[in-house]
Amino acid sequence: MSSWGFDTQAVHTTQSMPASGRPTAQPLYDSAAFAYETAEELEQVFAGRRPGHVYSRISNPTVAAFEARIAALEEGRGAVALASGMAAVTAAVTALARSGDSVVFSRSLFGGTLLLARKVLPRYGVDSRFVDLENEEVLSASIDGTTRALFVESIGNPKLDVPRLDAVCSVASERGIPVIVDNTLATPVLLKPRAHGAALVVHSTTKYINGNGTSVGGAVVDTGVFDWSRHPDGDLVATTERAGGFGFLVHLRRRIVQNIGSFMAPIVAWTQLQGVPTLGLRVRRQCENALALARFLDRHRAVEAVHYPGLPSSRWYEAAAALLDGGFGGLLTLRLGSRDRAYTCLNALTLVSQLANLGDAKTLAIHPASTIYRDCSEEERRDAGVHDDLIRVSVGIETIEDIIQDFAQALGGLT
């Protein structure tokens, strides 16, 4: 009890922390800012001369716990968490390229990344180039003195193509260019891009890492492979000279994310953390379920084609078998011959939900051409493998017989 008035009590009375009996779950520090006893202390924390958090647009203890977990899973040097996967992609690219520079992108890209590269980066003078990763000569020829990064998805969404990552990274390394790998679909369970020479890994943590569909988030991991003091960006080199091996992460957090305002919120980090312990279990189960569903659909007479990198008939089966460890991912696509037939199948599904997410514990399906890729041109859709009769399925962790049964009944109306 104190002599404070009601309103002072309402503002200042805080819950005490237990002296012993420490929490075993990560507490949520949902606090915009952090107080220090002296002006000198706050000055030192601000200057980065002493560890601590200042303001939750820059860093936060709950978000830091999430960053540490993602960095550990990717065997990276460290990570910065962002408000979404797109914020992570944008931060990684804009940390490396400025007006007059170019970035080389794989032709097969997630819809948001494609639109960022095509419609947003050019507004700021960054030249986005698109290449077919399968041809190393073309890839090498697309890199010139202005190129600051090469961007690739470990499993293309939704084309489900798998690059020969070692070859791609070695072309980039010969030219002194860092490779950014979007590892959302493979997850660190199946692939650690660091082992293949990637400089940065980006994630939409909304997907498999969260796994429960409770919030949107992203992360950028510095794998520690690339020597940033050799990058042509003067700001980045100066920061690397000051911060050593953490130069890129400091540059990313303090130059880009802090000033754009795209950092992850503490409550989001907290909800995303709930998924991390079960990531391996879920992904391995999703891979098993996806393979079983792909085999079932492959034999079904109403289905014109099934794309799954784990089917030996896939063009990318060998590349996927060489790159991925322990499975081929939880995503597959099927073609049904026409948009009408695709809609009929989607509308008949009962267990499977129709929504624009993936990597959830639940099985999800969507018609990408009319949704995620609706703002793209015909040619862009073709590059991304988005046909008008294509359904993308994100296979969940349910009992496989129930998933197959739902597709069996939904396809039954087609024959």
Ligand X SMILES: *Cc1c(COP(=O)(O)O)cnc(C)c1O
Minimum gap (Å) between residue 218 Cβ and ligand X: 5
Minimum gap (Å) between residue 272 Cβ and ligand X: 10
Site for ligand X in 255-294 (CB under 6 A): none
Minimum gap (Å) between residue 48 Cβ and ligand X: 29
Site for ligand X in 9-68 (CB under 6 A): none
Say how far apart CA 152 and CA 400 lie, in whole Å: 31
> Does 210 interact with ligand X (rule: CB under 6 A)?
no
Nearer to ligand X (CB atom), residue 282 or residue 341: 282
Tell me the residue nearest to ligand X as measured from the CB. Answer: 85
> Does 218 interact with ligand X (rule: CB under 6 A)?
yes
Say how far apart CA 303 and CA 295 lie, in whole Å: 11
Site track for ligand X across 126-165, x = CB under 6 A: ---------------------------x---x--------
Token pair of 306, please? 């099934």
Minimum gap (Å) between residue 103 Cβ and ligand X: 15
> Does 85 interact with ligand X (rule: CB under 6 A)?
yes
| C-alpha count within 13 angstroms, C-beta hemisphere, residue 86 | 11
> Does 204 interact with ligand X (rule: CB under 6 A)?
yes
Nearer to ligand X (CB atom), residue 84 or residue 223: 84
DSSP letter for each residue of 335-357 = E-SSHHHHHHHHHH-SSSEE-S-
Site track for ligand X across 162-201, x = CB under 6 A: --------------------x-xx----------------
Task: Find out whether 365 and 393 touch, Cβ atoms under 8 Å.
Answer: yes
Site for ligand X in 96-115 (CB under 6 A): 110, 112-113
> Does 216 interact with ligand X (rule: CB under 6 A)?
yes
Point out which span in 78-86, 129-137, 265-273, 338-346 binds ligand X (CB under 6 A): 78-86
The SS3 of residue 152 is strand
Nearer to ligand X (CB atom), residue 201 or residue 302: 201
Token pair of 134, please? 């399968």
Nearer to ligand X (CB atom), residue 109 or residue 236: 109
Nearer to ligand X (CB atom), residue 73 or residue 411: 73
Phi, psi of 335 (to 5 degrees): -115, 135
Q: What is the dihedral of CA 168, 169, 174, 176, to 10 degrees?
A: 120
148 Rama class: left (phi>0) / alpha (psi -120 to 50) / beta: alpha
Nearest-CA neighbor of 275 among 324, 328, 205, 325? 205
Point out which span in 36-44, 47-55, 81-89, 398-406 binds ligand X (CB under 6 A): 81-89
Phi, psi of 401 (to 5 degrees): -60, -35
Strands of the sheet with 390-394, listed across from one edge: 305-307, 331-335, 390-394, 364-366, 353-354
DSSP letter for each residue of 305-330 = EEE-TTSTTSTTHHHHHHH-SS---S
Minimum gap (Å) between residue 83 Cβ and ligand X: 8
Nearer to ligand X (CB atom), residue 110 or residue 296: 110
Task: Find out whether 182 and 91 touch, Cβ atoms under 8 Å.
Answer: no
Total number of residues binding ligand X (CB under 6 A)? Answer: 17
- The site for ligand X (CB under 6 A) is made up of 84-86, 89, 110, 112-113, 153, 157, 182, 184-185, 204, 206-207, 216, 218
